[in-house]
Amino acid sequence: MPRLSEAVKRDHARITDAYHGLIETKPEDRNGDDFVWALARYLIVENLALIPALEYYINNGRQRQRRLSDDYDSINAKLRHMSKYNPSEESFNSSLKAIWLDLEPHIREETDEDLDELERLMGPEGSEALGRKYEKLKEMLQKPYGKGGVPDADTMGDVLDTTRQQLMERMGIAGVSSSP
């Protein structure tokens, strides 16, 4: 199993590739489903696995947790907004770029600061255990939805509109705790 940082960085790369693929594709040929689903799934798993660990292990974890939660809320709202538009519309493109304005620094800060510090504090065994949890949560969200494993618009909308607590209940995860 991968360490936590490897799993998160792999998701960062997938999301970044999907974003650049959308930007580089002609608007009339775009399909934003892969980007939307990769990002939505990442945000959910991050919220359920990574954020509680940051809060628990890192000295300024509570402050970082609040910033990540704000990022989550902002990006999720922009993602819901973007999903209302056809990928060929300019509003889709504007929404996509607005998401990236929040997402790029979020990814950079997590990659350059949070993950290294968290792994140092958790140690290799803790990182691998949290990496397993991260991957398991991702797997639980990856049902055989359809083309490329991406859910239909209604299912994706439901996922984007579900609160953290509701997701935890639906996935059979025990209540929120302060430890990872």
Q: Given CA atoms 136, 55, 105, 92 in this order, what sign does their dihedral have? A: positive
Q: What is the chain's mean pLDDT, rounded?
A: 81
Per-residue model confidence as pLDDT tens digits over 40-82: 889 888 888 888 888 888 887 677 777 777 888 888 889 888 8
d(CA 122, CA 128): 9
Q: Could you tell me the pLDDT band of residue 178, with boundaries at 50, 70 and 90? A: very low
Q: What is the DSSP letter of 59?
A: T
Q: Give the C-alpha separation, 149 to 38, whole Å.
A: 10
Q: SS3 for 177? A: coil
79-118: per-residue pLDDT in tens?
888 888 889 899 999 999 999 999 999 999 899 988 999 9
Any idea of the CA torsion for 29, 33, 35, 40, to the nearest 10 degrees?
A: 160
Among 61-75, 81-95, 147-161, 162-176, the range with the most confident prediction by mean pLDDT is 81-95
